[in-house]
Amino acid sequence: MGLLPEKVLNEWVIIMAPRSTTSPLILKKGDITPFIKKLTHILTVYGPVAKKTQFVFDEISEGSQLRLDYDTTILPPKKYFIPPQEEMVRFSLSPQLNITSPLEESEEATLWNGKRFVIVGIHSCDLAAIKFHDKILTQVYPDPYRTHRRERGIIIGLNCLTPCEESFCKSTMTLSSTEGADLMLTELHDSYYVDVLTETGQLVIDYTKSLFSSASKEQSKSVEQLLTSREDTFPDLIPEFEKLPERLQVGYEGEMWARLGNRCFGCGACTLVCPTCFCFDVKDRVELDLNQGSRVRNWDSCQLVDFALVAGGHNFRPTIPSRVRFRIYHKFWIEPEQIQVIGCVGCGRCTRTCPADIDMIELLTDIQEGGT
Amino acid sequence: MTYPVSLRHEKNAYQYNKARLVRITPQTPDTNLYTFEYVDPGIQKQFTFTPGQFILLSIFGYGEAPFGICSSPNKTDSFDLCIRSVGKLTNVLQNLNPDSVVGFRGPFGHGWPMDEVKGKNIVIIGGGIGLVPLRPAILDVIENRDNYGKLQIMYGARCPEELLFKDELYLWGNRRDIEYVATVDRDDEHCWAGNIGVVTVLFDRINISPKDTYALVCGPPIMYKFVLRELEKIGLPDDRVFLSLERRMKCGVGHCSHCLVGSKFVCQDGPVFSYAEVKAQRGAV
Amino acid sequence: MPTEKSKPVVAFYGLTCCAGCQLEVLNLEEELLEILGHINLVQFRMGSSAKHPGPYDVCFVEGSVTNEAELAHLKELREKSKVLVALGACATTGGVNALRNGRNIEELKQSVYGDASHVRTLPQIQPLKEYVKVDYELQGCPIAGDEFIEFLTALLTGGEPSEKNYAVCVECRLKENICLMKEGELCLGPITRAGCGARCPSVGFPCEGCWGPVPQANVESEINMFSQKGASFDVVVRKFRMFNASMEDFMKQLKKRLDIEWL
Ligand SMILES: Cc1cc2nc3c(=O)[nH]c(=O)nc-3n(C[C@H](O)[C@H](O)[C@H](O)COP(=O)(O)OP(=O)(O)OC[C@H]3O[C@@H](n4cnc5c(N)ncnc54)[C@H](O)[C@@H]3O)c2cc1C
Ligand code: SF4
Ligand code: SF4
Ligand code: SF4
Ligand code: SF4
Ligand code: SF4
Ligand code: FES
Label residue A279 by pLDDT band (50, 70, 90). Answer: very high
Chain B's closest residue to A136, CA to CA, is B255
Closest CA to A182 of A147, A213, A150, A211: A150
Angle, vertex CA C213, rays to CA C209 and CA C215, nearest 5? 150
Question: CB of A50 within 8 A of CB of A71?
Answer: no
How far is the C-alpha of A321 from the C-alpha of A305, rounded, in Å?
Answer: 11
Is pLDDT at A36 greater than 60 in this prediction? yes
Least confident segment among A333-337, A349-353, C164-168: A333-337
| Distance of CA B22 from the midpoint of ligand 6 (Å) | 49
**CA atoms of A42 and A65, how far apart (whole Å):** 18
Pairs across A and C, CB distance < 8 A: 107
Distance of CA C149 to the CA centre of its chain: 17
Asked whether residue A281 carries a pLDDT value surpassing 70, the answer given is: yes
CATH superfamily label, B5-108: Translation factors (2.40.30.10)
Region C76-95: mean pLDDT is: 91
Across the range A180-187, mean pLDDT stands at 94
**Residue ranges matching CATH 3.40.50.80 in chain B:** 121-244
Q: Is residue C3 one of the residues assigned to a domain? A: no
Which of these three, C107, C131, C156, is where a domain ends? C156
Same domain, C129 and C85: yes
* Mean per-residue pLDDT of chain A: 88
Domain boundary among C129, C156, C183: C156
- Please tell me the least confidently modeled range out of A2-11, A23-32, C174-183: A2-11
Angle CA(B27)–CA(B28)–CA(B30) in degrees, nearest 5? 115
Asked whether the predicted pLDDT for residue C115 surpasses 80, the reply is no
**Does the structure show a pLDDT above 90 at A166?**
yes
Q: Which residues of A169-190 are buried (b: 16+ CB within 10 A; e: fewer)?
A: bbbbebbbbeebbbbbbbbbee
CA B87, B88, B91 angle in degrees (round to 5)?
70
Q: Would you state the pLDDT for residue C113?
A: 53
Query: CB-CB: which of A144, A286, A330 is closest to B14?
Result: A144
pLDDT value for A1: 31
Atom of ligand 7 nearest to the CA of B66: 1
Per-residue confidence band for A110, with pLDDT thresholds at 50, 70 and 90:
very low
Residue B58, beta-bridge partner list: B64, B103
Tell me which of A270 and A231 has the higher pLDDT.
Answer: A270
Q: How far apart are CA A274 and CA A350, in angstroms?
A: 6
Q: What is the 3-state secondary structure (H, E, C) of B181-197?
A: EEEECCCCCCCCCCEEC
Which residue range forms the structural domain that includes residue C246? 168-258
Amino acid at B97: N
Residue A372 confidence (pLDDT)? 64
CA distance B67 to B35: 13
Strands (E), B93-223: 101-108, 121-127, 151-157, 178-184, 195-196, 213-218
- C69 plus C30 within the same structural domain: yes
Residue A286 DSSP SS3: strand
CA–CA distance, B13 with B28 (Å, rounded to integer): 34
pLDDT band at A20 (very low <50, low <70, confident <90, very high): very low
Strand B272-274, strand B241-244: pairing: antiparallel
CATH code at position C15: 3.40.50.700
What's the number of domains chain C is made of?
2
- C1 has pLDDT over 60: no
- Of C156, C157, C191, nearest to A265 by CB-CB distance is C191
- How much helix, strand and coil, in percent to the nearest 5, is found in chain A? 35, 20, 45
Pairing of strands C136-138, C81-87: parallel
Task: Report the Cα–Cα distance between both ends of chain B, in Å, rounded.
Answer: 41
Is the pLDDT assigned to residue C18 strictly greater than 80? no
> What is the spatial distance between Cα A185 and Cα A121, in angstroms, rounded to a whole number?
8
> Which chain A residues touch C221 with a CB distance below 8 Å?
262-265, 356
pLDDT above 70 (res C118): no
**Per-residue confidence (pLDDT) for residue C119, from 0 to 100:** 53
pLDDT band of A112, cuts 50, 70, 90 = very low
DSSP string, C173-222: HHTTPPPTTTTT----GGGBB--S-SHHHHTT-----TT-BPTT--HHHH
C105 with C201, same domain: the answer is no
Q: What is the pLDDT of residue C50?
A: 60
pLDDT in tens, C171-227: 999 999 999 999 999 999 999 999 999 999 999 999 999 999 999 999 989 999 998
B42-78 burial: b if 16+ Cβ within 10 Å, else e: ebbeebebbbbbbbbbbbbbbbbbbbbbbbbbeeeeb
The per-residue pLDDT for A8 is 43
All residues of chain C having their beta carbon less than 8 Å from the beta carbon of residue A272 are 170, 173-174
Q: Answer yes or no: do C219 and C95 share one domain.
A: no
C132 and C28 in a single domain? The answer is yes
Cα separation, C216 vs C192, whole angstroms: 10
A355 to C154: CB separation less than 8 angstroms, yes or no: no
The full set of domain ranges for chain A reads 6-233, 241-368
pLDDT recorded at residue A56? 97
Residue A185 has pLDDT above 60, yes or no: yes
Residue C125 maps to a domain: yes
- Same domain membership, residue C77 and residue C207: no
- Least confident piece of the model among A309-323, B81-95, C114-128: C114-128
List chain A residues with CB under 8 Å of B58: 295
How crowded is the C-beta side of A76, counted as CA atoms within 13 Å?
A: 31
Question: Does ligand 2 lie within 6 Å of residue A137's CB atom?
Answer: no
The DSSP 8-state label assigned to residue A263 in this structure reads H
| CATH 2.40.30.10, chain B: domain bounds | 5-108
- Check pocket membership of B265 for ligand 7, CB cut-off 6 A: yes
Q: Is the pLDDT of residue A147 over 70?
A: yes
> Which residue's alpha carbon is at the smallest distance from atom 7 of ligand 2?
A274
What's at C251, amino acid-wise?
A: M
Tell me the average pLDDT across A242-253. 87
Instruction: Reduce the DSSP state of residue B264 to 3 states and report it.
Output: strand
Burial, B93: exposed, middle or buried (Cβ in 10 Å; 0-12, 13-18, 19+)? buried
> Which of the pair, B122 or C263, is modelled with greater confidence?
B122
User: CA of A76: which chain C residue's CA is closest?
Assistant: C176
What is the per-residue pLDDT for A29?
Answer: 94
Q: What is the pLDDT along chain B (285 residues), one digit of tens a residue?
A: 222 233 455 667 898 999 999 999 999 999 999 999 999 999 999 899 999 999 999 999 999 999 999 999 999 899 999 999 998 899 999 999 999 999 999 899 999 999 999 999 999 999 999 999 999 999 999 999 999 999 999 999 998 889 999 989 989 888 889 999 988 888 888 888 888 888 888 888 888 888 899 999 999 888 888 999 999 998 999 999 999 999 999 999 999 999 999 899 999 998 999 999 998 887 655
Write the CA distances from A91 to A137, B94, B107, integer angstroms: 26, 21, 22
Predicted pLDDT of residue C262: 41
Correct CATH for B121-244 of 2.20.130.10, 3.40.640.10, 3.40.50.80, 3.40.50.300: 3.40.50.80
Distance from C-alpha of C25 to C-alpha of C13, rounded to nearest angstrom: 13
